[in-house]
Structure 1
């Protein structure tokens, strides 16, 4: 028996639907259904009545769900006893570009007077960040929100806006231009980050949805690789303007950030938290620092 199985049972009963529960928890319908079925086999109990209208807990299922909620409540009490929990520990999931400057600066400011502060930062794409916050793995998620992605039961709050600009190196024919059209940008050999323009996602993928894809030369899961390749070749890539402006390659002139003149590349950066889990108090201070540091850019 796994805690995830118990959580999925609660979710299915909450929404009276396997499909909706699966959507809210960012897994496939078959995976969630299989998880609950395996739990029923293990317990030798029918927990849910299934019909064309959805699912309903059986009488025994209701009793099990009540016990499961007690279990999760006890787990939270146990977590509260942990020294890490008492030392303002925060687990953050964030889009990579916000980790270039803003998050390191915020952590540096926080740790000046908080020697016991423990922080874990995990970078990923917005869809994965939402999964991490939904599951409770991360206390805070910093994401790009375009009003397309399903946030489920998470609470969302916008922080600031930025815009994408095109990074080009000295070997690019665009290097000396002050601005370019979107078509000019899309014609250049492009380095894609992870699943950009390959799957429906937030950020660039949704911003350019329905528009011609860039001329993708190859993909990588390391932003540092993208920057190095741009520096020494004619490859290009989009980066957020303000969040990335402390980039050492921009500072030394080996790359330039060129705005798009005929297309709005604005994005909104915000945060998500899960109201089902206790959020460390230090997170409010952390978010205020992010806004403060961003305003100085």
Structure 2
């Protein structure tokens, strides 16, 4: 590599002495390395005479190709370095959905500003499907509702949100400042098969088990927007994270559940074999946003 760099310098300056000065080495060193390269190639790259140096035709072609190769190698080294530091590459993320203004939405927006050369790919799925894709190495991280303890995956809590109930604006409870689980025991709950539907279903069963009759829960193969439209029309009620209030739905009122003991936990799940610097940077940014949010 040193011989090649010094040969390119001689070709640029058409002078061994000027090339040596530019490189900060002796002229004899440059001359010896260029000569050694010519002997190794079996090609005369330069014509030397008392008036200076000029490239042979073979030398001109060699230098053009070699310079292009050096540029490509330099680009490859820089690209690899950026990938190693998490500044270039891709990050594949599994989510249950995004709400404008939510913690995850803000995290991803800030991440894309901070790391513009990372291609962020998004996959929307249930927690179960996201973890399955994680195990098949189709995504790098899954953001899911709940706390997970999986033998083959790492997980940690990233943020929390209070739990709220979504009811029609015409519902008899709509004017209250809050409700209890007892208030909701006889209601018709609507949940999705996809997204956070499975976790919502299990949470309702857990909270109402043993104290009231079997909760009435209907499951639908619909998108979140359709489910909320059904709530607005009075088909039933559903549960949401408080961030849903940042993106209001006409005809729906969100009420806090006053006896809900804990906020909803949102966790990141990823493979212990994933050494992605891009993923580490995402977690670092999440922790930074979390600290600033708590101190605000």
Quickly name the TM-score band, shorter chain normalised: 0.5 to 0.7
1:133 and 1:116 map into 2 onto residues whose CA distance is 23
Between Structure 1 and Structure 2, how many residues are aligned? 210
Q: Give the CA RMSD over aligned residues.
A: 3.6
Q: Give the match for residue 276 of structure 2.
A: 279
What residue in structure 1 maps to residue 104 of structure 2?
Answer: 103
Report what 1:152 is aligned to. 151
CA distance in 2, matches of 1:104, 1:260: 24
Q: What's the CA shift for 1:143?
A: 1.8
Task: Look up the match of 1:163.
Answer: 162
Contact 1:168-1:234 at 8 Å conserved across structures: no
Q: TM-score under structure 2 normalisation?
A: 0.58
Task: Give 1:235 shift.
Answer: 2.6
Structure 2 Cα separation of the partners of residues 296 and 189 of structure 1: 39
Instruction: Show the counterpart of 1:205.
Output: 202
Q: Distance in 1 between matches of 2:288 and 2:255?
A: 28
Match of 2:141 in 1: 140
Q: 1:186-197 residue pairs with structure 2 within 5 A?
A: 186-194=185-193
1:90 shift after superposition: 0.8
Task: Report the alpha carbon displacement of residue 95 of structure 1 after superposing the two structures with TM.
Answer: 2.8
CA separation of 1:94 and 1:195: change in aligned 2, threshold 3 A = closer
Structure 1's 125 and 181: CA in aligned 2 closer, same or farther, altered over 3 A? same
Cα distance, 1:114 vs. partner?
Answer: 4.0
Q: Is the 8 A contact 1:168 1:257 kept in 2?
A: yes
Name the structure 2 match of 1:74: none
Query: Which residue number in structure 1 is paired with residue 265 of structure 2?
Result: 268
Residues 222-241 of structure 1: pairs in structure 2 closer than 5 A: 222-233=223-234, 235-241=236-242
User: Which digits, 9 at most, give the CA deviation of each residue in 1:124-176, with x for residues without a partner?
Assistant: 22222222222222111112234xx5512211112233232111121222211
SS in structure 1 of the partner of residue 157 of structure 2: strand
- Larger Cα-atom Rg: 2
3-state secondary structure, aligned to 2:246? coil
* Structure 2 residue 118 is the aligned partner of structure 1 residue 117: yes
Which residue of structure 2 aligns with residue 256 of structure 1? 253
Structure 1 residues 207 and 294: alpha-carbon distance in aligned structure 2, compared to 1, 3 A threshold: farther
Contact between 1:95 and 1:143, CA under 8 Å: does it hold in 2?
Answer: yes
Match of 1:179 in 2: 178
CA–CA distance in structure 2, aligned partners of residues 277 and 117 of structure 1: 16
Deviation of 1:276 (Å): 1.3
Give the Å deviation of 1:246: 0.7
Output the CA distance in 2 between the equivalents of 1:296 and 1:233.
40
Q: Which residue matches 2:91?
A: 90
Cα 1:294–1:236 shift into 2, 3 Å: farther
Instruction: Measure the CA separation in 2 of the matches of 1:260 and 1:156.
Output: 27
Whether the 8 Å CA contact 1:127–1:202 is kept in 2: the answer is no
Q: Aligned in 2, Cα 1:121/1:186: closer, same or farther, shift over 3 Å?
A: farther
